[in-house]
Structures are given as C-alpha cells and as structure tokens.
Structure 1
C-alpha cells in the first residue's frame, strides 16, 4: 500500500480520489497547488500531518478531501477562498485551524474558523473541545460546521438566525436549546446525535427540517404551536421516542417524520385525521402520511390521492393492501412499501400516475403488477428485489411513460413483461 508521496513542485491540482485509501503518514503540499479536489486524500487513516506553507497559492480545499485522516492541525494561506467544512468528515482528531491574517475570506479565533467578519462559524475542529459558547457576532452556523465533533454542550448567541444543514450531525450533544431568534434550520442539522435527550424549540421556528433529529434519544416531544411543518424523517429512528404531541397549527407532516410505533396526539381542531387502523392523514384524507400501528392488512380510503414516502416502510407483517372502489390514488412516493417482505396482495389502482424511487423495493412476496392507463413514471429501483414478481403488465398509456433505471432489477422470477406502446423511455 502506498505510504510515501513526494509531489512535484509544479503541480497545480491534486485530483479527485488521487491518493484515497492509501497509508500516507505525512504530506507536503507544493506551493503551486491551487486545488485539493474531493476525496483526494480520503481514508488515509494514518495521515497525521499536512504541510501547507505561507507562500502557498492554494485556493480550494474541497469536500471529503481529508476524510478519515488523523490530522490535528491545518494552516490556510491567504489565498484560500473555499474551505469545505466536511473536508475532514468522520475525522475526530482535528484540534486547531490556523489562517494567514491577510486572508480576505476567512479568519480564525481560538483555533476555530469563521468568515472574515465572524458572522458565520465555518468549522469547529472536531476535537477542539466538548463545550463551546458561540460568539455573539455569529449570525449563522455553517453547513457541516460541527459535524462529527466531540461537542457535548453548546450555548448559542441570542441573535443567531440560521443553523445550516448537517451542521451538528453525529456530534455528542446531550441537550439543545434553540434561541427564539433562529428562523432557519437546514436539513439534517442535528441528525445522528445519539446522546441528545432534550430539545427546546425556539419561538422563531416555523418548521422542523427533514432528517433534523434522526437517531436522537428523546422519549417524548411536544411540538410548539409556532411549528406548521415537520419534514420527512425528522424524528425517524429515534429508538426511545414513545409520545409525540402535535399542535393544531400543524399543516404538513412529511413521510416517516416519526417512528411507526409512537403514540401521536393532537387537538380536535388540528388539520389531521387518524382512523381506526391508526393511519395518519391530513384533514380531508387526501394524503396518507404514515401508519402508526403494525398489522397484516390495511384498507386505503377512496379519498387518498398520495401515499407519502415510507408510509408503510419495513412493515414485515403486512401481507395485503386493499383500495376502496372509486379510489383517487395518483402518487405512491419513494420507499412507501419498501421492505414489506410478506406483501403478496396489492391491486394497484388504474388511477396511479407515478411510483417513487424504491416504493416497492424488496417486497419479496409480490407476485404480479398491473399498471393502468394514467401511468407516467416508474422511478428507479421501484420494484428492485421483488424476487417473486413473475408478471408485469401495462395498459396503453394515455400519455408518454418513463421507466427509470433498475426499476425491475433483481426480479429473478419475472417471466412475462407486456409493455405499452406509449412507453417513451426505459433507462438501463
């Protein structure tokens, strides 16, 4: 395995994946190098030192470029204008970032990287410390700013406005108090914080982002009435979560926003509906949001137009889905029935126009599928791994229809496939 690299002095770019998965222990970056591309030194798990001199003309350090390294400190010359906060993703050894004070884009205070005027916290080194008080000047926590860090306790400033996507993913946060000043939180901001047991939402929030708090260790969550939207997978895979209290202000719930075994309650004037099967809908039951109780069969009301993503995901006891006559169903979103390994009986209504990615992925007992004339798209991997699927038939479509790549991959029993004349594209 490659362990020693001497780069030429006239080198200008270290390309994507150039020295990934090697055993390099230290490396000197020549002064003429302008760009360190994505993944260029990833998974050099014994890489301890990287030398960048003050005379370097380096301008870009890109995403995952030093992923899984053991580097403890890095210097940014005055020419660096782009630094990806996830350049050190999954590395927990970085303690300090230093920067030439003449750099017009970045500044450093106490080993932490900010933009020049310190209104954006760009990167908190993963091993810098377990507690931190964000300076009052900071208005925004940047994308992946604390990702994979050892931080356990954080105090936000009172004027913070934005917490960008994936900014605290995989950290050791235990308690979280979001200031009332925060109005924007990005996707996955606190995902995979497996020590997080308490969350206090700020009054300025109107939505909880997709993947926002996956894998947290909370047991109960009461959503405040300033929240109107909860995104897809917001509290998915929270193993200890047993109770969710929703306000009447909620108007939109994403797919798999909670685990499927939680007790969900909401006031009578909420814009939600829960039937005797413990299926959660919007108020007029046009959107089937998720199923909150495992069973072997379900009956879908004729009012349902959309089955949300992951609505029945991995319900391994489910054998049958029945649709009421006169159904209005048009869309089955991604992962809707993924992993329903015993699902053998489902007559897909002829009104359905589109199937999301992996919507029936690994439904190993599904034997036949008939598509109606309204069909416009079957997304990638839709029926992949349906090993008992032997017959697939299409009506003559009213308009052109697209079948995306791997839609029927791994359907090892498929013997008969009858295609419509209006199928305009089949991706490989």
Structure 2
C-alpha cells in the first residue's frame, strides 16, 4: 500500500505501538487526511495531529531526501525511513533523545536552527542546547574521522553507530559513553584524552576489525581495553587535579595529588590579561608561590612530567590574593 486516505470519521489511530502495522507499512509513501477530520491532519504526505504539534507518522517509503519539520511541532513519534538524508528540526521540539534516528541508514545530517529551544547542531551532528551532550551522530555521515567537541561530557545511549567512521577522538571532558554505541562499525583507532571515561554495555559490539586504543596511562580506558582484549598504548600521563588557596602572606598555595608515572610537575601561572608562564618545576605535590600582589587574581595550571610521557595541562584554577 503506497497511499492511505484517512476520512473525517476516524477518531483514533494505533500509532503509539511500534509493533503496529500502521506504523510500519513498508511501501507507504503518502498519508492524506480529510480536511474535515477533527483529530488528524496531513502536510506533504506526513501525518500529524490536528494542530500539527505532534508528528505521528512519516511514511517509510517516502522518497524525499530532505525534510524540514514544521515549527509548530513539539513532539515526534517513532519514525523509520530509508531515503531521508537531511532532517531539519523545529525550533520548539521538546527534549528527547529520539533513538529511532539510528534506523535512518542514509541520514547524513540533522540540523537545528539558532532559535531552537533545546538543540544545537554542528556539521550535521546533534547536541543538546548546552552542547555538553552528544545526542546523535548520523549513520549515513561519510566522514572517516570525528573528534567529539571539547565541551561534551556525555554521549547518550545508542547515539553513534556509523559504518564509515574509522578514527574517533574522545576529548578530555567526556566522562560517559552510553550503552550500544559504535555497534557493527569499522573503527580502527580511538584516541582518548579523558582520564575517566565510563563505557556502557555493548559499545563497539560487532565492530569489523580490531580496535586500537590510545590514551592516558592508568586511565579507565586502559582498564577497559585490558578487560575487553583491545590493544592499548599510553600516549600521555593523566593531568593533575589542582587546588589553590591564598594565605595572609601574599602567597598562593598550589596543591595536587601525585600522578602515576610522573617524576616531576611543571607549574604555570598567569594574570587575567597575561599568558601562562612556567614558574616552577618540582617533584613535590604542592608549591608556595610567594611575593604576589594583594587583591590581584592569579591563574594556575600544572603538567605531569614522566621519563617518556607527559600530560596535558590541568584545568585552570584561580585565586584572589588576600
């Protein structure tokens, strides 16, 4: 069946159940609704509720490559389509992860405008508005390498399954890769700059070929690789977690826990308008920076230095001198 015509008399459609035949007509191209129907409407062959705030069914066999969801829509039902390559989300779409996007094998891009209340997109990849959660990486995006942006902290469940990706860079602020990501992919190389990534169940399941991990010494990624029989090579040390406080003697006290593999630590300082400069190299876990100016704010970073490896700079800490 390629076309469904819904008359004015219809009051209910069983679209909420993913096992329903109505939702999964494999050859459905178009849905028409009588203008007199008080409960449903159609636009461009797509089924909505009467007020067009709810996209109910996008036909499985509709052959358009791009679709812009009307801005009246704030909710999506379960959608499957084999032809869509580009989707533009409405500005008022409510919060959700919309896992069904993973079934769009040809989808290359999901776009959200700057006016979107809950979403942000860059190069076709979808994030929450705050940009700290990666919601969806298109299955049909053909890039061989992707770097998760540095602001991202979490990759949600099942949001990244792509057969074209061969190299992935996980930035330092990522702490969680949700379950069922990178299933049946072709990943060969994963570079992890975060010390404490937690990987959910079934990540990398069915990957074709052997994945090689490159990350921080004694990181959670190293433990994960060992547990799951993946190759791992340490390319950096962990960076220290730094604290700083001011004393009454115009002194800043910088402290941190020692890092495994580190023999010494480089301490860097700057003022609000200045650049970071190396002020001390020490093998101790604290340092007193003396002779500072009262009422002035200083910023500090620390690097771990080993025999062969070193870390990235720590996250900056600041202190206003008493």
* TM-score of Structure 1 vs Structure 2, range by shorter chain: 0.5 to 0.7
Which aligned pairs between 1:40-59 and structure 2 lie closer than 5 A?
Answer: 44=60, 47-49=63-65, 51-59=67-75
**In structure 1, the residue corresponding to 2:100 is in which secondary structure?**
helix
Q: Cα gap change, 1:149/1:88 in structure 2, threshold over 3 Å: closer, same or farther?
A: farther
Q: CA RMSD in A?
A: 3.6
Match of 1:158 in 2: 172
Could you tell me whether the CA contact under 8 Å between 1:136 and 1:158 is conserved in 2?
A: yes
Q: Cα gap change, 1:176/1:53 in structure 2, threshold over 3 Å: closer, same or farther?
A: closer
* Deviation at residue 113 of structure 1 after TM alignment: 0.5
2:153 is the alignment partner of 1:139 = yes
* Deviation at residue 170 of structure 1 after TM alignment: 2.0
* Deviation at residue 36 of structure 1 after TM alignment: 5.3
TM-score w.r.t. the length of structure 2 is: 0.54
Could you tell me whether the CA contact under 8 Å between 1:153 and 1:173 is conserved in 2?
A: yes
How many aligned positions are there? 210
Match of 2:188 in 1: 174
Which aligned pairs between 1:353-372 and structure 2 lie closer than 5 A?
Answer: none
User: Which consecutive unaligned segments of at least 5 residues does structure 1 have?
Assistant: 225-428
| Aligned mates of 2:233, 2:6 — CA distance in 1 | 55
TM-score w.r.t. the length of structure 1 is: 0.42
Which aligned pairs between 1:20-419 and structure 2 lie closer than 5 A?
Answer: 20-25=24-29, 27-30=45-48, 32-35=51-54, 44=60, 47-49=63-65, 51-62=67-78, 65-66=79-80, 69-130=82-143, 131-200=145-214, 202=216, 203-205=218-220, 208=224, 221=231
| Aligned mates of 2:166, 2:64 — CA distance in 1 | 25
* Deviation at residue 47 of structure 1 after TM alignment: 4.7
Q: Which has the higher strand share?
A: 2
| Aligned mates of 1:81, 1:92 — CA distance in 2 | 24
* Deviation at residue 3 of structure 1 after TM alignment: 1.4
| Aligned mates of 1:57, 1:8 — CA distance in 2 | 23
**In structure 1, the residue corresponding to 2:220 is in which secondary structure?**
coil
User: Which consecutive unaligned segments of at least 5 residues does structure 2 have?
Assistant: 31-44, 235-322
* Deviation at residue 94 of structure 1 after TM alignment: 0.2
Segment drifting more, 170-179 vs 25-34: 25-34
Q: Which has the higher contact order (CA 8 A, sep 6+)?
A: 2
TM-superposition CA deviations, 1:206-226 (whole Å, max 9, x none):
8649xx96xxxx7x75799xx
